[in-house]
Amino acid sequence: MLDFPRWKTIGISIILLLGIVFSIPSFLPTKAFESLPGFAQAKVNLGLDLAGGSHLLLEADIADLRKTQLTNMEKTVRTAMRGDSGPDDDIAIGELSNAGGGISFLVRDQAQLDEARERLFSETRGAGLTGQRDWNINVVDSQRIVLTPTSAGQTQAVANAMDTARDIIDKRVNALGTREPTIIREGDDRVVVQVPGLQDPAALKELIGKTARLEFRMVDTNADPAEAAAGRVPVGSEIVPYAEGEGSGAPFEVLRRQVMISGEQLINAQQSYDPQSGQPVVSIRFDSGGSSTFAKVTAQNVGKRFAMVLDGKVLSAPSINEPILGGSAQISGSFSVASANALAISLRSGALPVKMTVVEERTVSPELGQDSIEKGVLAGIIATVSVLTLMLVVYGRFGVYANLALVFNVFLIIAIMAAFNATLTLPGIAGFVLTVGAAVDANVLINERIREELKRGRRPFQAVELGYTEASRAIFDANVTNVIAAGLMFWFGSGPIKGFAVVLTIGIVTSVFTAVTVTRMFVAHWLRTNRPTSINI
């Protein structure tokens, strides 16, 4: 017991010192914190329930993704059959359909069947590293080719779409200029977005929830309004509804299926004002390809109407008064400055490859968060002081050692949380308070054991020695069970449970270290220098 090697004392002192040093940044006000050198800028993050902000869980609409996948494949088939070198190279096809989750079409000339398959093979490359194809190509009835997505291909498509979606959401949220947003993929088809300190979650949702698939399409002037109202439209056209609050007459427009220009050809989008009406609008610019297409189409169709379609809804359908040559256009609609800005950001960052819906939202106002911090911290301090006082009156000198250990424990928890950039949540504060309560348990066990050994007539040194060794076994077992519980909380729990488990686990490790090793160092030092003949405990 008295034998407490110097290297151990030095080692422990260094750890405790580091604990204090690394916990300091977390206590500094923001300004002082930011003036620290980069390597020292590690502090405990406050969870959204404390800092205020929004947590959104977005889920991809996989059915929608499959649909897009099929539409894209349909296009690929058409292009592939058209061939590279002029009309001689075309393969005539018919009865192309994408019903039933696959693509099927007829090759008119049976002699071209193998050639058609050959061309498709190169278009259905392997899915990922496994070398599996992403589409199966089958021939049925000797002249019909059926393409069905393989499960590997589907998985791959979802994974790719989610990666892209994450990046696009990231771009959009960053464009908001918020501080330290967190955007991570969760599971196969979800993305978590956390934005601290955000005041207006509705704007955030508007921004990231938009697929932002923009299309310019011609209005079908041949369509008979009465027929269209009954749902019958000419071949090659379809009914597209107006977006909420848009359009004055009919609730829909009949548009040509063919897309004139799409959002991919945009190079910029900005919120601005309509010079005539002063209303907020979104100004867009096309790339050179888009510009020339736009110029050509508008020149051919002066006097007709075209429609701007966003996410399958018509925003406006203006007449073409003159050819639009400069490659720029204005999207008007019933925008506010904020919603026009949101649309501009969405368009700039590109369309989401898949529709995303908000399935979970938790928003806490900064005032409530601030209130929670103040109450939580105050309660934490009072709880700690009460426990410290109790330890002091019950164990005297040994209580002081335990209390010192407890204070170091608090610093260590904060330092470790800061080092890992861990997040402190509201249940985390409760976990913290519980750790304080439980941390004394180890010292209670040790001190009670020392009392017992003294009652049995052992001399001070021996009693302390036995107190530590005998109590350590129970302390070890008890803490392992708690780590098991905390570990399971972390792995299986979500949200608040995770935050709680992190604090609890860190607290268990540091409290064993401080309650057993650190107090032992103090006690050994005292015993060695004073050589007491009796102990008051």
Partner 1 sequence: MRLLKLVPDDTNYDFLKWRKLASFMSFFLVVVSIALVAVKGLNLGIDFVGGQSVRVEFTQTMPPIEDIREAVGEIGVGEATIQQFGSDSAVSIRTALPDGDKAAAERAGQQLVAGIQKAFPTARTGSVETVSGKVSEELLRTGAISLALAMLGISIYIWIRFEWQFGVGALGRLFHEVALTFGFFAITQLQFDLNSVAALLTIVGYSLNDTIVVYDRIRENLKKYRKMDIVPLLNLSINETLARTVMTSVSILLALGVLLVMGPDVIFGFTAAMLFGVFVGTYSSILMSTPVLVWLKVGPHSFVPRTVAGIEGGERVERKDDGAVV
Q: Distance (Å, rounded) from C-alpha 308 to C-alpha 172? A: 22
Counting every residue written for the chain, the total comes to 537
The distance of closest approach from Cβ of residue 533 to partner 1 in the complex, given in angstroms and rounded to an integer, is 17
Under 8 Å CB-to-CB from 2, ≥6 apart: which residues? Answer: 461, 524, 527, 528
Looking at residue 44, the DSSP 8-state letter turns out to be P
- Considering the complex, state which of residue 24 and residue 394 has its C-beta at the smaller distance from partner 1: 394
- Considering the complex, state which of residue 90 and residue 200 has its C-beta at the smaller distance from partner 1: 200
Q: Which amino acid is at 472?
A: S
- Considering the complex, state which of residue 402 and residue 518 has its C-beta at the smaller distance from partner 1: 402
**Helices 426-455 & 366-395 angle (0-180, nearest 10):** 0
**What is the phi/psi pair of residue 182, to 5°?**
-115, 125
The distance of closest approach from Cβ of residue 528 to partner 1 in the complex, given in angstroms and rounded to an integer, is 23
- Considering the complex, state which of residue 115 and residue 441 has its C-beta at the smaller distance from partner 1: 441
Strand partners, 318: none
**What is the phi/psi pair of residue 9, to 5°?**
-60, -45
Beta strand 237-241 with 93-97 is unpaired
- Considering the complex, state which of residue 142 and residue 533 has its C-beta at the smaller distance from partner 1: 533
CA 40 to chain centre: 26
- Considering the complex, state which of residue 307 and residue 501 has its C-beta at the smaller distance from partner 1: 501
The distance of closest approach from Cβ of residue 170 to partner 1 in the complex, given in angstroms and rounded to an integer, is 21
Q: What is the 3-state secondary structure (H, E, C) of 432-478?
A: HHHHHHHHHHHHHHHHHHHHHHHHCCCCHHHHHHHHHHHHHHHHHHH
- Considering the complex, state which of residue 40 and residue 404 has its C-beta at the smaller distance from partner 1: 404
- Whether residue 317 contacts residue 329, with contact meaning beta carbons closer than 8 Å, is answered with no
- Considering the complex, state which of residue 311 and residue 448 has its C-beta at the smaller distance from partner 1: 448
The distance of closest approach from Cβ of residue 274 to partner 1 in the complex, given in angstroms and rounded to an integer, is 28
The distance of closest approach from Cβ of residue 522 to partner 1 in the complex, given in angstroms and rounded to an integer, is 18
Q: Distance (Å, rounded) from C-alpha 262 to C-alpha 172? A: 19
The distance of closest approach from Cβ of residue 190 to partner 1 in the complex, given in angstroms and rounded to an integer, is 9
- Considering the complex, state which of residue 418 and residue 454 has its C-beta at the smaller distance from partner 1: 454
Q: Distance (Å, rounded) from C-alpha 132 to C-alpha 148? A: 13
The distance of closest approach from Cβ of residue 28 to partner 1 in the complex, given in angstroms and rounded to an integer, is 23
The distance of closest approach from Cβ of residue 188 to partner 1 in the complex, given in angstroms and rounded to an integer, is 13
Q: Distance (Å, rounded) from C-alpha 25 to C-alpha 43? A: 6
Strand partners, 147: 103, 137
And the tokens for 509?
């490790």
Q: What is the 3-state secondary structure (H, E, C) of 30-42?
A: HHHHHCCCHHHCC
The distance of closest approach from Cβ of residue 444 to partner 1 in the complex, given in angstroms and rounded to an integer, is 5
